[in-house]
Amino acid sequence: MQETELSLTEQARIRREKLDEIRKMGLDPYPHDFETDHHAEEIRNTPELLDGEEAERKRVRIAGRIMTRRIMGKAAFFNLQDESGTIQVYIRRDDVGTDIYNTLFKKLIDIGDIVGVSGFVFKTRTGELTVHAESFELLTKTLRPLPVAKEVEDEQGNKVTYDAFADKEHRYRQRYLDLIVNPEVRGVFEKRSRMIREMRNYMADMGYLEVETPILQPVYGGAAARPFETHHNALDMTLFLRIANELYLKRLIIGGYEGVFEFAKDFRNEGMSRFHNPEFTQVELYVAYKDYDWMMGFVEQMIEHVVKALHGTTKITVGKNEIDFKAPWARIPMLDAIAQETGKDLSGMDEDAIRKTARELGVPVDETMGKGKLIDEIFGEKVEAKLVQPTFITDYPIEMSPLAKKHRSKEGLVERFELICNGKELCNAFTELNDPVDQRQRLEEQARLRSEGDDEAMVVDEDFLKALEYGMPPTAGLGIGIDRLAMILTNQESIRDVLFFPHMRPE
């Protein structure tokens, strides 16, 4: 809803009045551009900018927000914040002119305004690197005050902070403000970006092809999840936002590519938590002629490489835990992990016996859950949170994995692994099922579970089954949750801390 004059705060009204005054001065409060040649950090890292007499020094042009200022009569200092950091600027009336200094800078400029400065670099008597402004331009007049923190001392001499923009809800809803007034947050997202870049380069250097597959799909598949549904008007058909890109990437393996990967936005119409957002990012990789054992080696080598690239070591601190990503990592069959933790051996049990065991263990289950989902619930409740160091949980029951190939030597199991770290799943991988007859039977069993009330069970994708009948080579497949991996590698406790714009409930 558009704000009325009555709904504006006093500060917002004052800023609008200042905007009018700036225009009356003949100045454009929103000019089209300003050419910069330096950033704050670059100035700090270029000592030769101080070489020679001041009049002979190289001039710099920088732009950014005014975050603090101290006016001392005919001169002033202010801190200018750009993408790289903050640097002090010294401005004098005699250098920039009476109108610019006395009227524009002193009376009409506010904290948060974006300005451009050109001048030379020097050090103050206290040794602080500073830009001496020879020209000063307003680039953007802000109409709302920044929530800048104020720090004062109480009667006991303790520092007390007021007006800090620290409330998580507000920070998530107004990420733009969070990035301005809590610039350390930028480091989290820059590290996330570098993490993705390192993974992308690692896979590309292996010779695998980065591809794109459809987000809008007539049949959703590749995971057990509820989809978002939409309607295409021109085609008059229902479409779904993809829950995974697996089945399309496998089609490309069928088509003759031997290694393909995609960084994908996927969407699942499910609950939200510290570890779940309805829109999330994952990378999926499929490599022909390989199996899940090879893929385990690939995953631990790639993630070890990424951790070292980001941190310079394989050991990082996450919350209270020190986690070491040095390969190789532990590998434990799923049923063995459950037995070790609970004392219950589920191998050979039928669905009713597993449901009874789950209830004995205090795991909430219901009658709609099949054997696979029951085992998954027991593992999630009793085992997963206790796996802190990176661990491969392997060899899942066949009921849990309708797209994975049957284990070559263990009856009733499939060749699948999940990577668990810091108590959460980070990736899922299979020796992919490439027998079209077996795959049809598995998907039809999923359809049966769906008819009995499991709304996360998969649907039958006839086109994918047709593609399989043309022949898919032995293949290893992998999906890594980018958001969760970023949480660990940046030491963040919530998925919302590694998403620029997480989904929020309406205010």
Residues belonging to the binding site for Mg(2+) are 418, 425
| Structural tokens at position 400 | 């849990």
Long-range Cβ contacts of 166-170 (<8 Å, 24+ apart): 168/494, 168/496, 169/504
Burial of 471 (0-12, 13-18, 19+ CB in 10 A): exposed
> CA-to-CA distance for 92 and 82, rounded, in angstroms?
22
User: Tokens 């802190």 label which residue?
Assistant: 388
In a 3-state reduction of DSSP, which class is residue 34?
coil
Mode of pairing for the β-strands spanning 259-267 and 209-210: parallel
Decide if 395 contacts 416 (C-beta within 8 A): yes
> CA-to-CA distance for 359 and 353, rounded, in angstroms?
10
| Structural tokens at position 322 | 């020190």
From the list 36, 49, 22, 47, the residue with the least C-alpha distance to 132 is 49
End-to-end CA distance of the chain: 14
| Structural tokens at position 310 | 């980001």
> CA-to-CA distance for 248 and 221, rounded, in angstroms?
9
> CA-to-CA distance for 437 and 201, rounded, in angstroms?
37
At CA 379, angle to CA 373 and CA 381, rounded to 5?
A: 100
Burial of 425 (0-12, 13-18, 19+ CB in 10 A): middle
Residues 6+ apart with CB under 8 A from 335: 345, 346, 347, 375, 395, 397
Neighbours of 494 (CB within 10 A): 15
**Residue 18 is inside which H or E element, if any?**
helix 10-24
| Structural tokens at position 10 | 């006093």
In a 3-state reduction of DSSP, which class is residue 200?
helix
- Binding-site entries: 418, 425
User: Tokens 């996450």 label which residue?
Assistant: 318
| Structural tokens at position 481 | 């949750």
Sheet containing strand 391-397, strands side by side:
209-210, 259-267, 279-288, 475-481, 424-431, 413-421, 391-397, 330-333
Please state the separation of Cα 254 from the chain's center in Å.
31
